[in-house]
Structure 1
Amino acid sequence: MDKTGSGVERTNGEHEFTTLASEDVYVGTILALRADEVGMPGGGHARREVVEHLGAVAVVAIDEQDRVVLLHQYRYPVGRRLWELPAGLLDVAGEEPVRTARRELVEEAGIAATDWSVLVDVVSSPGFTDESIRIFLATGLSDVDRPEAVGDEEADLVVHRVPFDEAVDMVLAGEIVNAPAVSGLLAAKAVRDGARPARPVDAEWRDRPQRFRRRLGR
């Protein structure tokens, strides 16, 4: 047994999950789907379908009036508009995550920020995808020109500045359900309450997706 940083004792499983076979089902521009046969404890094997993802960033941007920047945006898979943080894919070759976050904050909300740190990293749904999202805290906000979005859901998104405590209440009331927004807002509250400090922008990101990036040569 060993201990986590919280002092909780835990045990680790010992089986090595090996890939016995793998086939591509679909390869697109922002994700791929592969099907693997994986060696299981006891000598058997099981099929695991895995969505490979580029990874993403999101931003909890808080202004001097203690308001957080939220987007109200239509999401086709769930069939409705969701409250979200400014966010985007890590789809530019060689671009550091914090640079992507800066760019997305400008492009989606028309906002620049001077001070950046890492709040939390989220593996969104590890049962079927390697997607991981790094969520930043940004302060020292200023308005800048926002590029015009044409031809997709972003052309319809609306930018709001919501009192931070109200946004946290929206999470707990089930009004904000987007995973990066829920995680980022609650992490920001913990940091602001002094539970622990935020991390530097170049902090280790252990689970940043790599496989799909390698497919694309990025």
Structure 2
Amino acid sequence: MTGPQPRRGRPRDASRDRALLDATLAVLTESGYGALTTAAVAARAGVSTATLYRRWPSKEVMVVDAAAAYAKGLTAQTDTGTLEGDLRALLRDKAASLTGNEGGVLRTLIGEAAYSPSLAEALANAFMVPVRQRVEEMAQRAVDRGEIPPVEHADLLGDMVIGPMMSRFFLTPLPPSQVDAATAAETADRILPFLLRAFGHESHGTVTSEK
């Protein structure tokens, strides 16, 4: 009986894959999905088109993977010990991801998702689902600490975090001075008291502000 056969070829380089996906997002943001080509991505990354096709069979699959990798990095878990602290961290996190260079990439991806069901699904799974899960978890921690009563339809709370942010930064025309990091954080803090009430949190006095 012979032993296991050795694997052929070199293992995939995760850092190279991420560099290729970053190049995909850069070209996508500059040119849009319709004008994006594997040749343009390969040139931006400094590789051959054959290198791309060894990893992804089509540009759609490549863009879907790029969107998933990008969105995955936008949701970091934070446990501050209080509902107010958790929500503030999440809101500021989302405000940062919807403004600046990150916001430009996400805006492009959302626009292209209207024409690509697979891209829309990838964005939902990598961007919306983790936010909903994160919000449900922070709500449950707040319930366990006795900060709030049990929340009915907790699965909707994540949409109440994303919705105001999308409306403010994507749907409202704003001058450049109102989309920088400091103003984004300030906007997040202004939304915070409304979300706390939606969670059933009874604030004693004003919500504290952290610089």
**TM-score when normalising by structure 2:** 0.24
Structure with the higher fraction of residues in helix conformation? 2
Which of the pair is proportionally richer in strand? 1
Q: Determine which structure has more spread, i.e. the larger CA radius of gyration.
A: 2
